């Protein structure tokens, strides 16, 4: 088996490439990344069971047909992912994220590889309290240029599945949390863990404390990809993938278990999506997915890694 991973050194990619080497030890794992974020350490100490090859390059510029030749699976993670920071970079997000998905999808069609494409539950942007993959168009109201591009990518993949026989699955991942070699701290749980470990007050928009939103432990993200590969779930459908729906209050209470002396600072400026909704994961559960991750696991692992950085007495 030959597996391609684009965006291999990122928050999700750096975790997934390690699991792939362990779960599929006979597979050839080709990792692609443009190293724009300079996370060279994501490639350190890969599992000795894995058969790895790294290609430094932008998927928009390299010959993907050659790279994908003989590949069974392509896991497309390459993207600029900071939704909150995407408002001033809308054109860049569109050119990088959407165009790379166009090129990856077409290379999969040319080579016969099956595609695991990532979207985001932030495409919903609904005022309803509960939403699933069969929601109306009115419930698909992306709240950022990043999420808007993700929705366009979903529609592109659906068209190519129908018209070009692309073998694909599109996963709407919840907000990622948990530790990895290439982890970032721009999303809620990881950002709060950083603030807590550094002795900083956690900043929360005043009306957002009991917002409920979908979150995904990295453990479950990687397990979802393993499940898709093992069960050949390339049916052209969209699946929500999450560990659970949590409120900001749930997250902060989880952090307090590890950092009891914790200051929470409420602010009036909007620092995150103001909408509150729950996302259903029943469609993916019907394929055999059982979430095993948890806030406690992800928070505890992240805090323990950071704790020594600010442990002066």
Three-state secondary structure of the chain: CEEEEECCCCCCHHHHHHHHHHHCCCCEEEEEECCCCCCHHHHCCCCCCCEEEEEECCCCCCCHHHHHCCCCEEEECCCCCCCHHHHHHHHHHHHHHHHHHHHHHHHHHHHCCEEEEEEEHHHCCCCCCEECCCCCHHHCCCCCHHHHHHHHHHHHHHHHHHHHCCCEEEEEECEEECCCCCCCCCCHHHHHHHHHHCCCCEEEEHHHCCCEEEEEEHHHHHHHHHHHHHHCCCCCCEEEECCEEEEHHHHHHHHHCCCCCCCEEEECCCCCCCCCCEECCHHHHCCCCCCCCCHHHHHHHHHHHHHHHHCCC
Q: What is the pLDDT of residue 86?
A: 45
Beta-strand relationship, 2-6 and 73-76: parallel
Q: CA 101, CA 180: separation in Å to the nearest integer?
A: 24
What's the token pair of residue 2?
A: 């030959």
Walk along the chain (313 residues) and give the pLDDT tens digit of each residue: 999 999 999 999 999 999 999 999 999 999 999 988 888 889 999 999 889 999 999 999 999 999 999 999 999 998 876 544 444 556 677 777 899 999 999 999 999 999 999 999 989 977 678 899 999 888 888 878 888 899 999 999 999 999 999 999 999 999 999 999 998 888 889 999 999 999 999 988 777 788 889 999 999 999 999 999 999 999 999 999 999 999 999 999 999 999 998 999 888 755 445 578 899 999 999 999 999 999 999 999 999 988 866 554 3
Q: What is the pLDDT of residue 270?
A: 55
Q: Are 80 and 91 in contact (CB under 8 A)?
A: no
CATH 3.90.25.10-classified regions of the chain = 185-213+245-278+293-310
Q: What is the pLDDT of residue 146?
A: 84
Q: Are 180 and 124 in contact (CB under 8 A)?
A: no
Q: What is the pLDDT of residue 269?
A: 57
Write the class of the CATH domain 2-176+214-241.
alpha beta
Shortest CA distance to 74 belongs to which of 45, 106, 38? 106
On whether the 185-213+245-278+293-310 domain is CATH 3.30.420.40, my answer is no
Residue 306 backbone dihedrals phi, psi, to 5 degrees:
-90, -20
Global confidence as pTM: 0.92
CATH 3.40.50.720-classified regions of the chain = 2-176+214-241
């Amino acid at each position: 088996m030959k597996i391609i991973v684009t965006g291999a050194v990122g928050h999700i990619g750096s975790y997934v490439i390690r699991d792939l080497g362990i779960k599929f030890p006979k597979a050839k794992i080709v990792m692609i990344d443009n190293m724009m974020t300079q996370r060279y350490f994501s490639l350190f100490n890969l599992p000795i069971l894995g058969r790895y090859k790294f290609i430094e390059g932008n998927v928009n510029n390299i010959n993907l047909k050659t790279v994908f030749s003989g590949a069974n699976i392509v896991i497309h993670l390459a993207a600029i992912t900071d939704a909150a920071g995407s408002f001033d970079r809308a054109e860049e997000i569109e050119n990088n994220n959407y165009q790379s998905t166009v090129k990856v999808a077409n290379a999969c069609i040319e080579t016969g590889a099956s595609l695991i494409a990532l979207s985001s539950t932030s495409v919903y942007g609904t005022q309803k309290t509960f939403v699933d993959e069969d929601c109306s168009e009115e419930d698909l109201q992306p709240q950022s240029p990043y999420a808007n591009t993700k929705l366009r990518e979903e529609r592109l993949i659906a068209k190519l599945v129908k018209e070009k026989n692309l073998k694909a699955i599109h996963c709407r991942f919840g907000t990622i949390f948990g530790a990895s070699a290439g982890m970032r701290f721009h999303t809620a749980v990881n950002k709060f863990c950083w603030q807590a470990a550094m002795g900083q007050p956690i900043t929360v928009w005043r009306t957002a404390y009991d917002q409920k939103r979908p979150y995904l432990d990295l453990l479950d993200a990687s397990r979802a990809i393993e499940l898709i590969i093992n069960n050949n779930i390339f049916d052209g459908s969209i699946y929500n993938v999450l560990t659970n729906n949590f409120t900001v209050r749930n997250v902060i209470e989880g952090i307090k278990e590890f950092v009891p002396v914790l200051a929470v600072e409420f602010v009036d400026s909007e620092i995150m999506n103001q909408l509150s909704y729950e996302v259903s994961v029943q469609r993916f559960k019907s394929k055999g997915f059982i979430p095993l991750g948890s806030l406690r696991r992800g928070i505890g692992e992240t805090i323990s890694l950071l704790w020594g950085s600010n442990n002066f007495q």
